[in-house]
Structure 1
Amino acid sequence: MKFANLRLSSLLTFAALGAFSCTKVTPPGAPGGAGRAAGDPGRFVNPLIGTAAFTDPKLVGYVAPPGWHGVWAGLVFPGSALPNAMVQLSPITQFNTGSGYQYEDSVIQAFAHTNKGHWNLCHLPVLPVAGPAGATGPYASRFSHATETAAPGYYGVTLKDYNVQVRLTSTLRCGLHQYTYAQAQDRRVVFKLGRSNENVNDWALEKVGPAAVQGFQKTGDQTVFFYGQLSAGIQDVAIQGKGTKEGVAVLRLADGGPKTVELRVGISFVSIQNAQQNLAQELGTRSFEDVRRAAAATWDKLLNKVAVTGGTAQQRGMFYTCLYRSFLWPALRSDANGEYRDVKGAVQKANFQYYTLPSLWDTYRNKDVLMSMLAPGVTADIIKSMQDIGDKTGFIPTFFHGDHAASFVAGAYLRGVTNFDLPDVYRLLLRNANVEGGTRPHIKEYIQKGYIATTEVPAPNVETPGSAGVSKTLEYAYDDYAVAQLAKALHDTAQYRTLMARSKNYRNVFDPGTKFMRGRLANGQWVKSFNPQYPYYEYMYREANAWQVSFFAPHDMPGLVALYGGPGPSRRSWIRCSPCPGTPPTLPATCRASSASTATATSPTTKRRSRTTSWASLKSRSSGWTKSWPSSTTPARKAWRFRAWTTRARCRRGTSSAPRASTRCPRPTRATWSRSPFSTKCAGPWTTARC
């Protein structure tokens, strides 16, 4: 696949595929091009991009509460990982944050073995320390970004307080740590098994040989088992604070020998025995450099499937970093021997790789499409993994909202990914589409009425409870179309006709009076309290407002155009969702890309991670725009809750203060989890951050 003359417009699409956020910080440790061949695209990848948060009120438009990190960054991790691997070996600067790593932090707590960037995982944190034998925690160290290096399959940093140089690389199921101490005495390795990004229920570690340990960490319903082998002897193991968040196992290393110590860790979600087997099969006695080179080669092979020409070095870096990010999730969960734990917790063995569930609501419209194009084998195994869940629960699973396994499976099949049991997957997707109590809430009402009703609330706010009936209706209609394509492929004419008819249900929530998709009562009347710019978490819309969802009918654009009265009126409606003169062009991109890129609640350029454009670039593209900043000092709420504000347009040119199209230019800005009042001034740059 080749892209010629790389331009910013094409980069925006790929920016949605990774968790990219522009920052004023230019991390010094990457790209990881040192020692790489000129033709290797991995040299452009910078895993530190997206790790820095915006906290400057002049940039984010409000004052963050004390101790809060402001507008989040990409919630990405900079550590070592292979494509769709089980292990993501990465530094933790703060637990219970998005990825555990935030660029503005100055202290490293540990190096964990799993990651996603969604306030979870970060299992098996380990930290090398040095000091007198009687020293105790808390164990952590300051570090400098000047000593930090990140590249695909590699991470390195120096722990300032312990004077330990850390280098990390990994395989699919194993992490390889290399610690270079300043001296060969008073060295320890601390397993912080009481901590992860999830609540730890139980953990254990025991010495099982002169230089080996094994154990587990249980968080919720999942348990991660590990087997670790050190290159230095273990003098003793001390368990401290068992049963507390600060619980640790401290391995004191024998004095003498080389200053460089390697720790090889195999993990498994099945058993300690499997973790040990994974370690022996994937790492064995391979050298650190051999493993690192193999990791880089694996990434280059994948990234080379997309070639680009033209563009600046910065644009190529953005492109390949986002492409790299696109293949870090879903994550592998089956072991080298084929065993895995199914959705019921039972150990199974299969002839395919078992993966976690894709983040379908976020990624079905872009990243998962890309994956089916560039990694069809992984895509087939992901579908088989979802089928395995369906066979045991009766339904193909979804993620957060909608039933977008339907479009993921149908799209992959139509692109040539056919190495799975299509009739059985189709059977399960039909259950999703018709049986109440499964993947699609309110499906019975949807089938009977042709839409999902909204209960009228006189004065709704951002967090007014609801069924997100408009969003569900639109998404179910699209999902029906997707399943219909499978019915057509299997020559199920009756179901094809039924589902195609249901795919037109998006029309049932279109209000011809306002030209918006609007909440509808059970009696067929429209919700009275209606502001198309006001965003909701689940009242009428799922994390969106009317502007963002009203152009979502990607399977029937002619039908959508007809609702607006034809090409002319529909074009004018979409133009209303374009920038006002003198306003930031990035803000209305939510609507603009929704109509052009078939997005759902938000566009691919404003997905659920932060997207920020620098003030300088906005100013250069918006001559004459006068900035003014809304302010909020509302204390931060729990990170898993959604908060939003929206800003109406007051667009100024020169010295004129006359509002320009205040009701015509939508300004949906999800800007933290604060109950901020609705501002009436332009603020910029425009950022979307959603949990």
Structure 2
Amino acid sequence: MRKQLYTFFLSVAIQILSLWPAVLQAQDYSGKVNTLIGTQGNGWSSGYLYPGATYPFGMVQFTPTYFSKQLGFVINQLSGAGCDHMGNFPTLPLSGELRTSPDSIINLRASLTKEKGTAGYYATCVNDSIQAELTVTERTGMAKYSFSANENRGTIIIGGGVAATPIQVAAISITSPTSCEGYADGGAFCGFPTPYKVYFVAEFDASSVSLGVWKNERLLPGEKFAEGKNSGVYFTFDLNKKKEVLYKIGVSYVSVENARENLKTENPAWNFSSVKQSAANKWNQYLGKIEVKGNNEDRVSQFYTHLYHSFIHPNVCSDVNGEYMGSDNKVYKSERKYYTSFSNWDTYRTQTQLIAMLAPDVTSDIVMSHQLFAIRSGGGFPRWVLANIETGIMQGDPTPILIANAYAFGARNYDTRSILKTMRYGAEVPGANSQGVLTRPGLEQYLEKGYYDASAMLEYTSSDFAIGRYALQACNDEPVCNYYTNRAMKWKNLYDKETNWLRSRNEDGSWKKQGDDWRESTYKNYFWMVPYDLKGLLQIIGGKQEGEKRLDELFHRLDASYGDEWFASGNEPSFQIPWIYNWVGAPYKAQHIIRKVLDEQYNSRPDGLPGNDDLGSMGAWYVFANIGLFPEIPGVGGFSINSPFFPEIILHLADGDLVIKGGDERKEYIQALKVNGKRSDSTWIDWNDIKNGGILEYSLSPKPNKAWGTSVTPPSFGN
């Protein structure tokens, strides 16, 4: 009998082991990512995404730059930002020996074809003859260049004084036939100077047979030091014995020594496959935090690609030894990771809430990085940071909203009271700034008269509301909560009863033209920028029926540009508008419009986004829209709902699994819903009800149920 049991269990074990590779393959979320989605397009309707390799929240983006693919493969790039930026230390493999100076590199007319990209890996063919493969660790990049069989020589160039925007100072030293190191200083973003410094150390796995430098149009064989704009170095290799050349680069924003330590610590060997697999494993940890089950492989790939974009930023800026360059240009050291790349006007609306739910420890460090940036740069929070520079672009005071959202959705490992103090400083003290950039331009007028330029003011009132919620939830400070909640009601000072719209005022209180002062949007889109007081907004214009009518007119088109008076799927001020149907008593219309946007405005082609991804903002919108939960109200933990797309979705939260069942790509209308086993007629789900895990069970239909979701009014905080 014992022998029979042994034989039985051995047989079962063998069967399980035989299935193990399939199990591993099923969990390869990184392979479901298609990094080519959103890498093409025109102007505001382009995703501005890069196809190359990066690590979750990693320092290095090893990729062709969106703004000039001919540069080759750079080490830093923002995901979905619509202005030229960064693109430092481009490297490019070339056939044969270098005969003339690469100058700006662009003149080489390098072409990249047969592109393929998954999470942590990118491959392409350079000039139809060289196979280039890229992968990364958190702070380093690695390339494998495979030259054609008939090539005897191959050259690899590295630009120091070359980037996507002008470099002021740069230098590279060749330190051996297999290595070089250097730095670059300069850059710009959206027309604003961003004079950051970045350092590198690079190595090859083979010894070069010749090397040299270039400076503008001068090629200097044998020289070992390149300095200035349009300068760099080159290494030429003998390919007779080996057609592959491996290249790796360590990066730091502190020093060459730290770049070397980053490289030595994270990638000391020459095993490209191992580094590639490690990157995939790390991506699987993050992408696996949401499991979606469905047979539509194209939509599954889109989902994981957008989830991938949500985990790219912010970027770690501290080195393996904990050092980082502060906002005062001094070097600091911390046991916690320090982050940069803050596109807060964009990310506070979607991406922050998503990463707070799924990666609360990382998000807590991101919050603390904002606080450290503020106290060393003038006392006010920054709103748009690149490297250690406050760029000053965009409007409003978005960082308090971002932090309030992070706290509301579970990222809470920091000193809450010191952060509230910084929030209040920027909101109460005219002249508060970060690196000379005012936290709230026009604050004196806003406080004294109760109004300011329309779209900026609506951003201020949203920030005021978020500060109030944070004061109450994070600091148990009810008086401060009441003060800021009341301030948030100043949005009503923009209401013009003659036109029945919100409208900008002159300083003397007179009305400006209806179309004035709506930054990157229109008055018909920004009108809904009162998500915390939608009940009050609807009351002031005449009720739910008038609100529904305006929404219907807005959604006549889904692809509006910044200046069009319809819904702009690709623009942040429009992100929350579809769910407002839940407040006007027509939830079925929200369900229809959101599906329509997903079906018509997104696809898996290189032009598959309706607008700039803006550091994961649009990617996170796509994720929330597909799972049927949207974080509508600033600083409030909860979701306005729509119908989920996939039959089963599992969110692996920090304290339990949230299971969402019943989604159907052919059925968009909610007929019934159970929340943790109890029937619900509410279009609002409180975060506290699901943060420790739970189950949402939907019953969907291809036909609308106009009654469902209308008996319970979603929250509004006007009173």
What is the TM-score of this pair, normalised by structure 2?
0.68
Per the TM alignment, residue 50 of structure 1 is displaced from its structure 2 partner at its CA by 1.0
User: Which consecutive residues of structure 1, in runs of 5 or more, have no partner in the other structure?
Assistant: 1-32, 55-69, 102-107, 453-468, 618-691
In structure 2, what is the equivalent of residue 327 of structure 1?
311
Query: Relative to structure 1, is the Cα distance of residues 196 and 144 closer, same or farther in structure 2, using a 3 angstrom cutoff?
Result: closer
Query: Relative to structure 1, is the Cα distance of residues 427 and 611 closer, same or farther in structure 2, using a 3 angstrom cutoff?
Result: same
Q: Distance in 1 between matches of 2:276 and 2:422?
A: 42
One-letter identity of the residue aligned with 2:266:
E
In structure 1, what is the equivalent of residue 491 of structure 2?
506
- Residues 503-582 of structure 1 mapped to structure 2, 5 A cutoff: 503-527=488-512, 529-530=513-514, 534=515, 539-579=516-556
Query: Relative to structure 1, is the Cα distance of residues 588 and 72 closer, same or farther in structure 2, using a 3 angstrom cutoff?
Result: closer
User: Which consecutive residues of structure 2, in runs of 5 or more, have no partner in the other structure?
Assistant: 1-20, 188-194, 217-226, 385-393, 433-438, 582-589, 605-719
8 Å CA contact 1:574, 1:592 repeated in 2: no
Q: Distance in 2 between matches of 1:178 and 1:421?
A: 45
Do structure 1's residue 88 and structure 2's residue 82 form an aligned pair? no
Secondary structure, aligned partner of 1:206:
strand
- Residues 36-435 of structure 1 mapped to structure 2, 5 A cutoff: 37-53=25-41, 73-92=46-65, 97=67, 100-101=68-69, 108-116=70-78, 117-118=80-81, 119-132=84-97, 134-137=99-102, 140=108, 142-143=110-111, 145=113, 147-160=114-127, 163-182=129-148, 185-220=152-187, 221-241=195-215, 245-253=229-237, 257-310=241-294, 312-392=296-376, 393-399=378-384, 400-435=394-429
8 Å CA contact 1:164, 1:179 repeated in 2: yes
8 Å CA contact 1:549, 1:594 repeated in 2: no
In structure 1, what is the equivalent of residue 441 of structure 2?
441
Q: Distance in 2 between matches of 1:157 and 1:278?
A: 26
8 Å CA contact 1:53, 1:72 repeated in 2: yes
Secondary structure, aligned partner of 1:296:
helix
In structure 2, what is the equivalent of residue 595 of structure 1?
577
Secondary structure, aligned partner of 1:277:
helix
Q: Distance in 2 between matches of 1:501 and 1:371?
A: 30
Q: Distance in 2 between matches of 1:333 and 1:497?
A: 37
8 Å CA contact 1:124, 1:192 repeated in 2: yes
Query: Relative to structure 1, is the Cα distance of residues 435 and 616 closer, same or farther in structure 2, using a 3 angstrom cutoff?
Result: closer
One-letter identity of the residue aligned with 1:447:
L
Per the TM alignment, residue 309 of structure 1 is displaced from its structure 2 partner at its CA by 2.6
CA deviations over 1:340-377 (Å, ceiling 9, x no partner): 00011111101111111421111211111111111111
Secondary structure, aligned partner of 1:520:
coil
Query: Relative to structure 1, is the Cα distance of residues 186 and 36 closer, same or farther in structure 2, using a 3 angstrom cutoff?
Result: farther
CA deviations over 1:423-446 (Å, ceiling 9, x no partner): 111110000110112211111211
CA deviations over 1:616-661 (Å, ceiling 9, x no partner): 99xxxxxxxxxxxxxxxxxxxxxxxxxxxxxxxxxxxxxxxxxxxx
- Residues 608-687 of structure 1 mapped to structure 2, 5 A cutoff: 613=600
Count how many residue pairs are aligned between Structure 1 and Structure 2: 525
Q: Distance in 2 between matches of 1:228 and 1:339?
A: 20
Per the TM alignment, residue 271 of structure 1 is displaced from its structure 2 partner at its CA by 0.5
CA deviations over 1:536-571 (Å, ceiling 9, x no partner): xxx421112110111111111111122122323333
Per the TM alignment, residue 327 of structure 1 is displaced from its structure 2 partner at its CA by 1.5
8 Å CA contact 2:168, 2:229 repeated in 1: no
Q: Distance in 1 between matches of 2:601 and 2:372?
A: 45
Q: Distance in 1 between matches of 2:289 and 2:235?
A: 44
Q: Distance in 2 between matches of 1:240 and 1:261?
A: 22
One-letter identity of the residue aligned with 2:481:
Y
One-letter identity of the residue aligned with 1:398:
R
8 Å CA contact 2:557, 2:566 repeated in 1: no
Q: Distance in 2 between matches of 1:333 and 1:423?
A: 25
Looking at secondary structure, tell me which structure has more helix per residue. 2
Could you say what the CA RMSD is over the residues aligned between the two structures, in angstroms? 3.3
8 Å CA contact 2:117, 2:123 repeated in 1: yes
One-letter identity of the residue aligned with 2:26:
A
Query: Relative to structure 1, is the Cα distance of residues 518 and 611 closer, same or farther in structure 2, using a 3 angstrom cutoff?
Result: farther
8 Å CA contact 1:215, 1:272 repeated in 2: yes
Q: Distance in 2 between matches of 1:257 and 1:204?
A: 32
One-letter identity of the residue aligned with 1:202:
V
Query: Relative to structure 1, is the Cα distance of residues 359 and 612 closer, same or farther in structure 2, using a 3 angstrom cutoff?
Result: farther
One-letter identity of the residue aligned with 2:531:
P
Per the TM alignment, residue 197 of structure 1 is displaced from its structure 2 partner at its CA by 1.4
Query: Relative to structure 1, is the Cα distance of residues 514 and 301 closer, same or farther in structure 2, using a 3 angstrom cutoff?
Result: same
One-letter identity of the residue aligned with 1:476:
Y
8 Å CA contact 1:133, 1:186 repeated in 2: no
CA deviations over 1:515-540 (Å, ceiling 9, x no partner): 2110123333322x33xxx5xxxx42
CA deviations over 1:455-483 (Å, ceiling 9, x no partner): xxxxxxxxxxxxxx111221111111111
Per the TM alignment, residue 592 of structure 1 is displaced from its structure 2 partner at its CA by 7.6
Q: Distance in 2 between matches of 1:235 and 1:320?
A: 44
Per the TM alignment, residue 316 of structure 1 is displaced from its structure 2 partner at its CA by 1.4
8 Å CA contact 2:170, 2:228 repeated in 1: no
One-letter identity of the residue aligned with 1:86:
M
Query: Relative to structure 1, is the Cα distance of residues 598 and 614 closer, same or farther in structure 2, using a 3 angstrom cutoff?
Result: closer
CA deviations over 1:410-432 (Å, ceiling 9, x no partner): 12112221111111111100001
Query: Relative to structure 1, is the Cα distance of residues 574 and 373 closer, same or farther in structure 2, using a 3 angstrom cutoff?
Result: same
Query: Relative to structure 1, is the Cα distance of residues 266 and 449 closer, same or farther in structure 2, using a 3 angstrom cutoff?
Result: same
One-letter identity of the residue aligned with 1:373:
M
One-letter identity of the residue aligned with 2:365:
D
CA deviations over 1:222-269 (Å, ceiling 9, x no partner): 111111111111344322116665322122335654221111110100
CA deviations over 1:302-350 (Å, ceiling 9, x no partner): 1111122336222112111111111212111110000000011111101
Query: Relative to structure 1, is the Cα distance of residues 407 and 203 closer, same or farther in structure 2, using a 3 angstrom cutoff?
Result: same
Which deviates the most, 240-249 or 390-399?
240-249
Q: Distance in 1 between matches of 2:327 and 2:534?
A: 38
One-letter identity of the residue aligned with 1:73:
S
Per the TM alignment, residue 53 of structure 1 is displaced from its structure 2 partner at its CA by 2.1
Query: Relative to structure 1, is the Cα distance of residues 549 and 34 closer, same or farther in structure 2, using a 3 angstrom cutoff?
Result: farther
Q: Distance in 2 between matches of 1:408 and 1:131?
A: 51
Query: Relative to structure 1, is the Cα distance of residues 255 and 291 closer, same or farther in structure 2, using a 3 angstrom cutoff?
Result: closer
Q: Distance in 2 between matches of 1:586 and 1:287?
A: 54
8 Å CA contact 2:553, 2:566 repeated in 1: no
Query: Relative to structure 1, is the Cα distance of residues 323 and 570 closer, same or farther in structure 2, using a 3 angstrom cutoff?
Result: same
Q: Distance in 2 between matches of 1:616 and 1:331?
A: 27
Query: Relative to structure 1, is the Cα distance of residues 336 and 249 closer, same or farther in structure 2, using a 3 angstrom cutoff?
Result: same
Per the TM alignment, residue 36 of structure 1 is displaced from its structure 2 partner at its CA by 7.5
In structure 1, what is the equivalent of residue 644 of structure 2?
none
Query: Relative to structure 1, is the Cα distance of residues 127 and 595 closer, same or farther in structure 2, using a 3 angstrom cutoff?
Result: closer
Per the TM alignment, residue 39 of structure 1 is displaced from its structure 2 partner at its CA by 3.2
Secondary structure, aligned partner of 1:37:
helix
One-letter identity of the residue aligned with 1:524:
G
One-letter identity of the residue aligned with 1:115:
Q
Q: Distance in 1 between matches of 2:30 and 2:366?
A: 25
